[in-house]
Amino acid sequence: MHEDDWENKLPALAMRSATYIMLGDIENAFHDVRTMEINFDKTDNILVLPHAYHCCSLCYSWSQKDFHKALDYSLQAYKIAKSSDNLIFEYSTFFSRALAYFHLENFSQAQEAIQTGIQLSREKNIFVGIYLLYAYEVEIHLWNGELDKVLFLCSQYLENPDEVVEKLPLMLLFRARALAYYSLGRYEDSLLALKEAASIFGETHMALMGITLPYLQGYILQQSGQGGDSGSFYLEVETLLGKNPPLQVQLTHVKKLLRQLERIKSDKDSYHSSSFSLKENLQLENIIKTSQKLSSILDIDKLLTVILENTLEVTGAERGALILLQETLRPKASVFLQSSGETQAFAVPQEVISSTLRAQRGIILHSQEQLNTLHENPLFASIKSIICAPLILKEEIIGLLYLDSQLIQNLFSEEELKLLGVFTSQAAISIENAQLHTRMLRQAEIEKEIEVAKDIQLSLLPDTEQNPHYEIGAFMQSAEEVGGDFYDFFLDSPPYFGIFGDVSGHGLKSGLIMMMAEVAFNTIMASQPSRLSALSHIYQQLNSVLYKNIQQRLSIKSKAAKEYSYMYMTCKIFRFDPEGNFEIFGADYSAPFICKAVSGEIIELESKGFLLGIQTDATMGKEALSFSLEKDDLLILYSDGITEAKKFSKEVIRRDKSKNYLFGTARLYDLVIENRHLNPKDLVTLIINATRNWMHKQEDDITLTIIKKK
C-alpha cells in the first residue's frame, strides 16, 4: 500500500483500531487512532471518512478516554454518511452514538439511538452489528435496575447463541444475565451465565470485556459465601492487568455497576417497606376489597369497566379512561366511563399521557398554572382537576388510568395518588391475568385447529400397501404439530411414481407448502400424458406451482411475507417399472442411496436439478439419473432430521465441545447394511427407534422411505 494512499490506509487503520480495542490492546488502538486523526484531511472520500470517524468514536468510548470526543466523532460520521446516502455507516453510527451517550450516563439518549438503529436495521434488512445494539439496550436496563426486562431480553437475544457471529456482544449479554441473576439472589444461575461468557472470552481473547468476568466470578462467590473458591479468579484478574494495565478502567466501570445494582436493590427494599404505611388511610380497605373483586374477573372487557367504575366511585372523579398500551407505548385499546354511567369516548390530553409515560409515575394537575396550557385547547377548557397513573407490571407500563373533574378544583391529593398507585398495581396484575386467560382460550382454539390440520396432513399420506413387485415401508413424524416433510406414491398402474420432499423449516408454514406440493403431485399423476413426460418436465411442473404460490403470492400478500420469501423445498421424484428400472430427479440435502442385497454395497444417488419454489427454473438443464434394483436391493430416502439428530443438548455440545454428537450418515448406512435382510417396514421401525434412542430431543421433522425389490 502506497504511503500516501489514505483512501485505503484509513479503512485499514479503522478496522485494526476497532479490533485492537476489542482485544483490550488500548495502546495499539490509540496509535492507529492518532494516525487517523492526523490524516483525516488527506481524503474527502465520503465512503472512507464515516468508517474512520465511527471507529475512532468506539475507541474513545471503550477506552473511556474521552466520551465527548467519542460523541463528536460519531455525529461527524453520521453527518457524512447521511449526506452521502451511505446507509450502512449511517446505521453503524447509531451504535457509536449510543455507546458515547451510555458512558456519559445519558441513558435516554443512548436508548433512543439504539432503538433508531434497531428500527433502521429491520426496515433495511441490515443485521451486521445488530447484537451490539441489543447488548447495550440490555446494559441500559441493567444500569436502571430493570431486572425483569434484562432477563426477558436476554432470553430472546440468547435463544440461539451458537448462531450469533458477534462474540463481544454475546459476552456482554451473558454478563448482563449473570448480574441480573446475582441481583435477584440466584447465585448459581449467575455463575453459570458468567461461565458461558468466560468460555467466549477463552475462545476470542477479547480482554476489553473479558477482564471483568473473572473479577465478577470471584465477587459473586464471595457474596454467596463461597469466598474460598474466589482466589483463582482474582489471580487471573491480576495476571491480565499485569500484561495490560490500561484495562483497569474496565474493572472500575464494572465495580461502579455493582455499586449501582446494590443501591437500586436497597432503594427497592426501602420503597416496599414504606408503602405499607399507606394502609393507615381509611380508603385502603375499599381498595383492597375492590382488588379482591378484580382478581376474580377474567373477561377483559368487563374487567376494564369494573376498574373504571370503582375508581370513579372512590375518587369522586366525573370521567375516567383506561388505556391499554402496546410494547411501543401506543394505545391498543381504550375504555371510557362517566359517573353518570355513559360510556361515550372523550379526548384525553396527549400532554398528560406523555408526561405520565416520561415520569413513569402518577401525576396530578389541578392548579390554574398547571392547567393553563391545556385550557388553550377548547376540548379541555372546562377541566379543573386531573389525575393520571400508569399501570405497571414487572416494571413495564402496560396502560394508563386517567380521571378528571370539570366541577371541582383540587379534587385529587398526593395521598390519593399514592393510594391509586396501590390500586393500579393490583389492576395491572388482574388485567394481565385476564389477557392471559383470553390468550389461553384462543390458544386452545388454535391448538384444536392445529390438531385438525395435523390429522388432515397424516391422512393424506399414502398407505404403503404391498405391490406385486415391491415392498415399501415409510414413516413421518413432525417436530411440531404440523410438519414440512412428506412422501407419496402413485402405484395404480405402471409406470409407478414416488416423491419425497422436505420444506425448509418446520411448523404450520412448512406444512402449508407441503400440502401445496402434495396437491400438485396428485394433479400431475391424474394425467397419463403428464406421467409419460420427461421426469425433469414433471419436476419443473411442481416448481412452477410452488414458485407461483410462494414467491408471487405468499411472499407479497401474506402478513408474514418476508418469512415466506425465503422458503423452498428439497425434493426427489422418481419413476419406476415392475422390472426394477428407476429414474430419479431432484435436489436434496440428504442423498438417497441404494443398498445392494448381496454385497451390502452403498451407492449414493447424486442430485440433479435445483430447489423447488425459489427460482423459475428448477431443472438447470439436467436430465434424470437412471439406475436399477435387483432382487432384494433397497432404495432408501431419508430426511436430515435423522442424520442430524443430536445426542446432547446444545448447551452440553457448546460446553463440552462434543465432536461425535450427530447420528450421521455412517451410522445410518451401518444399520441398513447389517439389517438389509429385514422387510422394509421392520427396517424402518429399527432405524426410527435407533434415532429416537440417540437424540436428546427432536428438533426437525423425521421422514424415511424404504423400497425393496421383490
Half-sphere exposure of 608 (CA within 13 A, CB side): 19
Q: What confidence category does residue 458 fall into, taking pLDDT thresholds of 50, 70 and 90? A: low
**What pLDDT does residue 286 have?**
57
Q: List the 485-490 sheet strands across, edge first.
A: 485-490, 496-503, 569-576, 581-587, 625-628
Share of residues in the chain with pLDDT > 70 (%): 88
**What pLDDT does residue 140 have?**
94
Instruction: Let me know: does 129 contact 166? Beta carbons within 8 Å.
Output: yes
- Tell me which of 57 and 506 has the higher pLDDT: 57
Cell triple for 578? 415392475
Number of domains in the chain: 3
pLDDT mean over 218-235: 83
Cα-trace Rg, the chain: 33
The Cα 250–Cα 216 span in angstroms is 12
> How many CB atoms neighbour CB 612 within 10 A?
28
**What pLDDT does residue 278 have?**
32
Per the DSSP assignment, residues forming a β-bridge with 403 are 320, 387
Residue 446, CA distances (Å) to 366, 442, 477, 559, 701 in order: 49, 6, 20, 18, 21
181 lies in a domain?
A: no
Instruction: Let me know: does 488 contact 498? Beta carbons within 8 Å.
Output: yes
Q: What confidence category does residue 270 fall into, taking pLDDT thresholds of 50, 70 and 90? A: very low
- Tell me which of 668 and 640 has the higher pLDDT: 668
The set of residues, in sequence order, having a beta carbon less than 8 Å from that of 55 and lying 6+ positions away, is 14, 15, 17, 18, 33, 36
For cell 487517523, name the residue. 36
Residues 510 and 388 in one domain: no
Q: What's this model's pTM, rounded to 2 decimal places?
A: 0.43
Residues 609 and 545 in one domain: yes
| Structural domain boundaries enclosing 40 | 1-123
CATH number of 2's domain: 1.25.40.10
154 lies in a domain?
A: no
Cell triple for 355? 408526561
The Cα 6–Cα 213 span in angstroms is 38
The three-class DSSP label of residue 666 is: helix
The b-or-e profile of 219-248 (16+ CB within 10 A means b, else e) is: bbbebbeeeeebeebbebbeebbeebebbe
Residues 425 and 517 in one domain: no
Q: What confidence category does residue 657 fall into, taking pLDDT thresholds of 50, 70 and 90? A: low
For cell 446444545, name the residue. 650
Q: DSSP alpha helices (H): ranges in 461-534? A: 508-525, 528-532
Residues 542 and 399 in one domain: no
Residues 394 and 515 in one domain: no
396 lies in a domain?
A: yes
Of the residues 101, 123, 145, which one is the last residue of a structural domain?
A: 123
Confidence check: pLDDT of 596 > 90? yes
The Cα 487–Cα 572 span in angstroms is 10
The Cα 669–Cα 675 span in angstroms is 10
Instruction: Let me know: does 103 contact 125? Beta carbons within 8 Å.
Output: no
pLDDT mean over 201-225: 90
262 lies in a domain?
A: no
Cell triple for 465? 400397501
- Tell me which of 276 and 13 has the higher pLDDT: 13
The Cα 541–Cα 522 span in angstroms is 12
Confidence check: pLDDT of 626 > 90? yes
Of the residues 437, 453, 477, which one is the last residue of a structural domain?
A: 437
Instruction: Let me know: does 491 contact 467? Beta carbons within 8 Å.
Output: yes
* CA neighbor of 91 nearest in space, from 56, 60, 140, 132: 132
**What pLDDT does residue 445 have?**
67
The Cα 504–Cα 566 span in angstroms is 9
**What pLDDT does residue 275 have?**
36
621 lies in a domain?
A: yes
- Tell me which of 536 and 461 has the higher pLDDT: 536
Handedness of CA 253, 254, 259, 261 (dihedral sign): positive
* CA neighbor of 428 nearest in space, from 544, 515, 304: 304
Q: What confidence category does residue 603 fall into, taking pLDDT thresholds of 50, 70 and 90? A: very high
- 124-128, 188-192, 704-708: the lowest-pLDDT one: 124-128
Q: For residue range 283-315, what is the model confidence (pLDDT) as tens digits?
A: 555 555 566 666 667 778 888 888 888 888 777
CATH number of 335's domain: 3.30.450.40
429 lies in a domain?
A: yes
- Tell me which of 654 and 349 has the higher pLDDT: 349
Of the residues 123, 140, 174, which one is the last residue of a structural domain?
A: 123
What is the separation of C-alpha 38 from the centre of its chain, rounded to a whole number of angstroms? 42
Confidence check: pLDDT of 592 > 50? yes
Residues 407 and 555 in one domain: no
Confidence check: pLDDT of 654 > 50? yes
The three-class DSSP label of residue 364 is: strand
Residues 693 and 620 in one domain: yes
Residue 599, CA distances (Å) to 666, 668, 673, 706 in order: 17, 17, 9, 18
**What pLDDT does residue 273 have?**
38
Residues 549 and 660 in one domain: yes
389 lies in a domain?
A: yes
Per the DSSP assignment, residues forming a β-bridge with 324 are 333, 399
Report the Cα–Cα distance between both ends of the chain, in Å, rounded. Answer: 70
CATH number of 539's domain: 3.60.40.10
The three-class DSSP label of residue 243 is: helix
Residues 547 and 405 in one domain: no
pLDDT mean over 129-135: 93
Residues 502 and 430 in one domain: no
The set of residues, in sequence order, having a beta carbon less than 8 Å from that of 360 and lying 6+ positions away, is 390, 392, 397
Residues 476 and 406 in one domain: no
Q: For residue range 45-102, what is the model confidence (pLDDT) as tens digits?
A: 888 999 999 999 999 999 999 999 999 999 999 999 999 888 888 999 999 999 999 9
Residues 397 and 518 in one domain: no
Confidence check: pLDDT of 34 > 90? yes
Share of residues in the chain with pLDDT > 90 (%): 41
168 lies in a domain?
A: no
Cell triple for 609? 436439478
Confidence check: pLDDT of 658 > 80? no
> How many CB atoms neighbour CB 137 within 10 A?
24
**What pLDDT does residue 537 have?**
93
What angle separates helix 130-143 from helix 87-103, to the nearest 10 degrees? 20
**pLDDT, mean over the chain:** 85
Q: For residue range 138-196, what is the model confidence (pLDDT) as tens digits?
A: 999 999 888 888 888 898 889 888 888 889 999 999 999 999 999 888 889 999 999 99
Q: For residue range 517-568, what is the model confidence (pLDDT) as tens digits?
A: 888 898 999 888 899 999 999 999 999 999 888 888 777 776 665 666 678 8
DSSP 281: S
- Tell me which of 506 and 94 has the higher pLDDT: 94
Instruction: Let me know: does 586 contact 487? Beta carbons within 8 Å.
Output: no
Containing 76, the helix (H) or strand (E) segment is helix 67-83
